[in-house]
Amino acid sequence: MINVGLVGYGLAGSVFHAPLIGSVPELRLSKVVTSRRDQIAKDLPGVVAVPNIADVLGDPYIDLVVIASPSANHFEHTTAALQTGKHVVVDKPFAIKAQEADELIALAESQGLILTVFQNRRWDGDYLTVRDAIEQGWLGKVFHYEVHFDRFRPQIKAGWREEPKPGSGILYDLGAHLIDQSLNLFGMPKAVTADIITQRAAARVEDYFHLLLDYGVLRVILHSATLVPHPGPRLTVHGDGGSFLKYGLDGQEDALKQGLRPGERQWGTDQPEYYGELTPAGGTTRKVETLRGSYEKYYELLAACLLTGTPPPVDPHDSRNGLIVIEAAQRSAAERRTIEINV
């Protein structure tokens, strides 16, 4: 049994981490750092709510600390957890700067500890499906990969993500997911060209981005906006062997918000009307059933890592590379030019 301490009980902590940790028998959530004592008593009977991170880091029975605090605190909280000998999961974005990520990776290695980043959308059903289509060779050589994370949120939601602080804004929030998926598929790009702006009148942080990643003859487009009443395709992929299009977002986040949990019959499934369409070059279009999404897989792999020594679910170097792309995108948007990436 691995005893877990959770730092933060906002959206990430309450909707994602606590339920997913609870779905893995080898993990036991022991303490949560939060002021929401009544909510913890209601949601997580038997779990202790504590007022500050020191109450978790000073507990010798806690093996793993999950950092689900605001992005600006990730570096400080992860450093403190590693220094006290705890294995660490840090929510995306890993840190604010790639240099901070390098420091955290070096600290974990020097301490002989596991450090991994919660990139849960590697287990989105749509991403698993398009990755499988590419790996199966159904699309041939891929020349165009485009993914959108569009929403209609004209009103500004309360919370730190909408406040002008380090790590806030749509690029660190949703961009960290799309960049990680792209890097997981294709590796690091040669260059980045980015447009990052604020569109909503009352917004104080960026709420739109459009990234073009240069992979030679392959072009990857990553796009997200908050003023899209009727979103277009979620995924558009073209290769010399065929095309794949898919509409609709993965439903696991909404399912978790509704109280559904991994293991239930419909968990991770997609609605047939949102199945992707595969059109072979010169052939007939057919529907492709969406592979089952599985956010719980992250914590299952982490438990195996801690108990048996298998690799962590996400290599922290991958998320560090994602920060390099984010920094290049920010520079590109600010300077209105393409930024080459040299790693």
pLDDT one-digit tens code per residue, 185-216: 999 999 999 999 999 999 999 999 999 999 99
Rounded distance, CA 277 to CA 331, Å? 36
Q: Within a domain: residue 130?
A: yes
243 and 200, same domain (yes or no) = yes
Q: What is the DSSP string of 199-264?
A: -STT-SS--EEEEEEEETTEEEEEEEESB-SS---SEEEEETTEEEEE-S--SHHHHHHTT--TTS
Query: Per DSSP, what are the bridge partners of residue 194?
Result: 211
Share of the chain above pLDDT 90, in %: 98
Domain with 95 in it: 2-118
Q: Tell me, what CATH number does 82's domain have?
A: 3.40.50.720
Q: What is the pLDDT of residues 125-171, one digit of tens each?
A: 999 999 999 999 999 999 999 999 999 999 998 888 999 999 999 99
- Whether residue 23 is contained in a domain is answered as yes
Residue 315 lies in a domain: no
Q: For residue 329, is pLDDT > 90? A: yes
Q: What is the mean pLDDT of residues 61-73?
A: 97
| Whether residue 261 sits in one domain with residue 127 | yes
Residues 209 and 329 in one domain: yes
| Domain boundary residue, one of 118, 137, 160 | 118
Mean pLDDT of the chain: 97
Q: Confirm whether 48 is domain-assigned.
A: yes
Indicate whether 46 belongs to any domain. yes
Instruction: Look up residue 155 and give its two tokens.
Output: 């009103």
**304 is a domain residue:** no
Q: How many domains, in total, are found in the chain?
A: 2
What pLDDT score does 227 carry?
98
> Of 90, 118, 146, which residue constitutes the final position of a domain?
118
**More confident position, 112 or 265:** 112
Pair (217, 269) in one structural domain: yes
Q: Are residues 65 and 192 in the same domain?
A: no
CATH of the domain at 278: 3.30.360.10
Domain end point (choices 71, 96, 118): 118
The answer to whether residue 63 is domain-embedded is yes
Domain-embedded: residue 309: no
pLDDT at 10: 95
What pTM, to 2 d.p., does this model score?
0.96
